[in-house]
Amino acid sequence: MPFAITQTCCNDASCVSVCPVNCIHPTPDEPGFGSTEMLYIDPRTCIDCGACADACPADAIFPVDRLAGPDAVYATLNEQYYEDNPSDNAWGEPHFPRSLPPEAGALRIAIVGTGPAASYTAQSLLRLTGAEVTMIDRMPVPGGLIRFGVAPDHVSTKKVGDSFAALYQHPRLRLHMNLEVGRDVTHAELAAHHHAVIYAVGAANDRALGVPGEDKPGSTSATEFVGWYNSHPEVPADAVDLSASRVVIIGQGNVALDVARILVSDPEDLAGTDIADHALSALRRSAVREVVLIGRRGPEQAAYTQPEFRALCEIPGVRVLVEEHPAVRQAITAAAPGSKAALLADLPVEPVDWSVPPPQGRRIVLRYFSPPVELGGEDRVESVVVRDGDGTREIPARSVIRAVGYRSAPIADLPFDAATATVPHDRGRVVDPETRQPLAGTYVVGWIKRGPTGGIGANRTCAAETVDSVLDDGAARLLPTPTGTLREFARLVRRRKPEVLGRREMLVIDQAERRRGLESGRPRVKFPTVPELLKAGRRGVIRLALTPRRH
């Protein structure tokens, strides 16, 4: 019986490298890899060995005969992929591990960030070289997108973080948490103590709608909402108001779907996750009955992936419908099998009377071809005004969530392209935007490098490209020689930021959160503020120091 890949696929291609018959596609060497929504197993070639399931960091691969309920469709989707994309499963060119020549010496490399891009980069450097790696994060805990961006009900996706657990205990890795580059230490100071500095800072800001009223009370960014339910220390517990019966989400990407799903899910179904305590409490009191997802364009151009959309339509007790629109019916009728518009074929398409309150029960309304033009209201948001044919339509709503994408912030002392919100680079090497000449020893990886596209697994191939550039420059003796030592850098850090946390404190916090979770039947209960995180880390380390050793 063949295996199939399901909804939680993270696209990091761990399964591809272990398949003995090369039956998982697209591979990182194939053109479709960077844009695919998930990977697929060829049922005609699969030999049922299970190696891919063992290697998958997100528990996304199962034998076809074990797929049931909403997952059953993935047997068909895996098979259908190969009907539309025939493959002979021929092996590509072999790839051999990179290394540095002995004369290059031992490198010291700093990585700014601890999210997926940073962690894949550190893994590669530690595995391929004898480099000493320093990871720095402005948060007191590592994880980046995995901790603060993945929805709490995506438990399998969060397991990708477990694959990085061993990384943090590597003897050649140093951690400086609660340290902000650009404020506590400068890029020049990092560069003075390391041969190379790699920035993996992600995209922490939200894109603006660019319409009047978007900054009024009642308008919340998806960045803030996601941080709120994920216990981000910079988002207050009272940042989100769930007193309105209707919430309008502007945007139809995966983040918008995450937010919609959390808003209408039964809070008791979320009680076994690592959702923030304050968010769970607010959801239990929530008045939200209806979530409206507004898209600027048609269903075929929606930014969500098919797996995420299917998950949205399977929430128990929630009705999902499409608002009536001639162009939507036309798109559904003309939809090719397997397309995004075809996903709507099984959903009801109905007119919606926006002049009346939402009906009883919980529902999600999908509205397409509706670019927003204004958030109406005097002192706060009272409605969303959207383009509707040659005129406009007003949708009453006292709560609006803006989910139109993320945007990276400029990095101190580095060039920045404001149009793309990325750092100019050549295969990860930061370059001068005028001359296109590399800035020696300075690199980028992840969303700050390529923009906020691709899921967690896409960072693995992105990291491989940047690491290759670092190794090429190291072998060619193009990396600057640091003038300071790692010990001197550690002293500088402690002098500038006494509250910095290291490996021991990070491990203590992790253990404490897991212990809190065990007591309440959850994976973990996060400490939601910086003072609580600092206190937990320090208290645990002091307790360890005072514990008498057994002889």
Rounded to 5°, the CA angle 538-540-546 comes to: 105
Same domain, 449 and 400: no
Same domain, 250 and 370: yes
Q: Which helix (H) or strand (E) holds 179?
A: none
pLDDT at 1: 79
Pair of tokens at residue 284 = 């239990």
- The partner residues of 61 in beta bridges, in order of sequence, read 5
Same domain, 386 and 256: yes
**Closest alpha carbon to 335 in 368, 294, 293:** 368
Same domain, 473 and 415: yes
Same domain, 513 and 459: no
Same domain, 62 and 142: no
Residue 545 lies in a domain: yes
Cα dihedral sign for 161, 165, 167, 173? positive
Q: CA-CA distance, 47 to 182, in Å (whole number)?
A: 52
Find out whether the peptide bond into 28 is cis, omega within 30 degrees of 0: no
φ, ψ of residue 166 in degrees (nearest 5): -65, -30
Pairing of strands 61-63, 3-5: antiparallel
Same domain, 465 and 342: no
Q: How many domains does the chain have?
A: 4
**SS3 letters across 489-508:** HHHHHHHHCCCCECHHHHHH
pLDDT at 547: 56
Same domain, 255 and 396: yes
Same domain, 187 and 214: no
**Closest alpha carbon to 413 in 381, 441, 380, 446:** 441
Residue 32 lies in a domain: yes
Task: Give the domain CATH number at 158.
Answer: 3.40.50.720
Q: The domain containing residue 512 runs over which residues?
A: 503-551
pLDDT at 93: 77
Residue 95 lies in a domain: no
Q: CA-CA distance, 59 to 41, in Å (whole number)?
A: 15
pLDDT at 204: 87
φ, ψ of residue 280 in degrees (nearest 5): -60, -40
Residue 507 lies in a domain: yes
Residue 20 lies in a domain: yes
Task: Give the domain CATH number at 381.
Answer: 3.50.50.60
CA atoms within 13 A on the CB side of 546: 6
Residue 441 lies in a domain: yes
Q: CA-CA distance, 205 to 410, in Å (whole number)?
A: 11
Q: Give the residue from 376, 405, 434 where a domain finishes.
A: 405
pLDDT at 550: 53
What stretches of 113-190 adopt beta strand conformation (E)?
Answer: 132-137, 173-177
Contacts of residue 33, Cβ cutoff 8 Å, sequence gap at least 6: 11, 13, 26, 27, 461
Q: Rounding to the nearest 10 degrees, give the CA dihedral for residues 447, 449, 451, 456.
A: -30
Residue 339 lies in a domain: yes
pLDDT at 549: 52
Q: CA-CA distance, 164 to 174, in Å (whole number)?
A: 14
SS3 content of the chain, % helix, strand, coil (to 5): 35, 20, 45
pLDDT at 262: 98
C-alpha 184, offset from chain centre: 26
For residue 299, the tally of other CB atoms under 10 A from its CB is: 25
Q: Give the residue from 500, 522, 537 where a domain finishes.
A: 500
pLDDT at 36: 87
| Cα end-to-end span (Å), the chain | 54
pLDDT at 542: 60
Residue 392 lies in a domain: yes
Same domain, 532 and 492: no
Q: What is the pTM of this model?
A: 0.93
**Closest alpha carbon to 204 in 34, 405, 412:** 405
Same domain, 458 and 397: no
Per-10-residue mean pLDDT, the chain, length 551: 92 92 92 87 94 94 93 93 86 78 86 97 95 97 94 91 87 97 97 98 92 96 97 96 97 96 97 96 98 96 92 95 94 90 94 95 97 95 94 96 94 95 97 96 97 88 95 95 96 96 95 94 95 89 55 48
Pairing of strands 246-250, 290-294: parallel
Q: Give the residue from 84, 110, 128 where a domain finishes.
A: 84
Same domain, 198 and 219: no
**Closest alpha carbon to 521 in 282, 275, 311:** 275
